[in-house]
Homo-oligomer: A and B are copies of this chain.
Amino acid sequence: MYDVAIIGSGPAGISAAINLKILNKNFIWLSSRAVSKKVGQAPLIKNYPGLPDVTGGELAWTFKNHIERMNIKLEEKVVTGVYDTGGKFTLLAGEEQYESKTVIICSGTETVKSLEGEESFVGRGVSYCATCDGFLYRDKTIAVLCTDKKFEHEVEFLAGLSKKAYVFPMYQGYDIKSEKAEILLKNPVKITGGQKIEKVHFKGGEVAVDGLFILKGVISPSTLVHGLEAEGGIIKVKRDLSTNIAGIFAAGDCTGAPYQYAKAVGEGNVAAHSAVEYLAQNK
């Protein structure tokens, strides 16, 4: 059982991790990437006090260096669900499960927009985890929305199990070999169905499916955590960065504008301190 689980490796997650390490807490840090892709992409950052005129790559490097100096480890795993299991939280990430007393969500802003109907069909045909749910769709017809080349091995795995897999690659240079895969160069926009998913719609067409896998690094907060108060993908937080669920905190871009390194780093710090205070009060 961990004291704290941090989700996300952007500036907020990094700041939270550094503080929890200093505060000597037993924490796990989970993210789809070693260091947030977004940080590394920024051309020039002028307003991170103390590091004038750094590129995103330089800032990512210095953050990475800071973490390594403190011997902080990151588990490169996509968290697909957080469940309140009575006084603690259970996090699902691939085939792993983690238990933690508190959670700090630093998942950034969603770069992939949710589909219409996506949230309502989670658990009713919509899945984010190939290894968790793939076997449910053996010899069935599925669709796979793949947002990044790095998830292609999961697409192959799913297509291999399926009767037929409609694959929507959302990036350039896809390379999917399975004979059961049919590539559709379309943007899915909507999911419809009854008790379960029935169709995935895109501009100019639709496909009938038994299930839809959405493979992305960041899952919409309210999909990730059932009952989490959010609006338009932005988690509602109080000044201490607590959310509407006791024990769950959020920091960084996922709490809203301004989308700034300094703001994210500050919030990661505050969220870590608030989580530690919560732990002290709920022993």
Contacts and interface: CB of A to CB of B under 8 A. Distances in A.
Main secondary structure of the interface of A (DSSP, over half): helix
Contacts of A266: 260, 262-267, 269-270
A203 interface: no
Contacts of A11: 49
Contacts of A70: 46, 52
A238 to B, nearest CB: 8
Given A237-B239, A239-B237, A239-B239, A262 B50 contact: no
A242 interface: no
Interface in A122-150: none
B49 A63 contact: yes
B69 A47 contact: no
Contacts of A265: 49, 262, 265-266
Copies held by the complex: 2
Chain B CB count within 10 A is highest, among A14, A62, A266, A273, for A266
Interface in A34-88: 46-53, 59, 62-63, 65-66, 69-70
Nearest to A257: B273
A232 to B, nearest CB: 15
What's the interface size class on A, roughly? 35 or more
Interface in A249-283: 256-258, 260, 262-270, 273
9 contacts: A19-B47, A50-B66, A51-B66, A53-B69, A237-B239, A238-B239, A260-B270, A262-B268, A265-B266
A242 to B, nearest CB: 12
A28 B262 CA distance: 22
A62 B50 contact: yes
Nearest to A238: B239
A170 interface: no
A50 B59 contact: yes
B15 A47 contact: yes
Contacts of A50: 48, 50-51, 59, 62-63, 66
A52 B15 CA distance: 11
A18 interface: yes
A189 B117 CA distance: 65
Interface in A155-186: none
A66 B48 CA distance: 9
B273 A269 contact: no
A45 to B, nearest CB: 10
A258 B270 contact: yes
Contact of A46 (B18, B48, B49, B256): B18
A22 B260 CA distance: 13
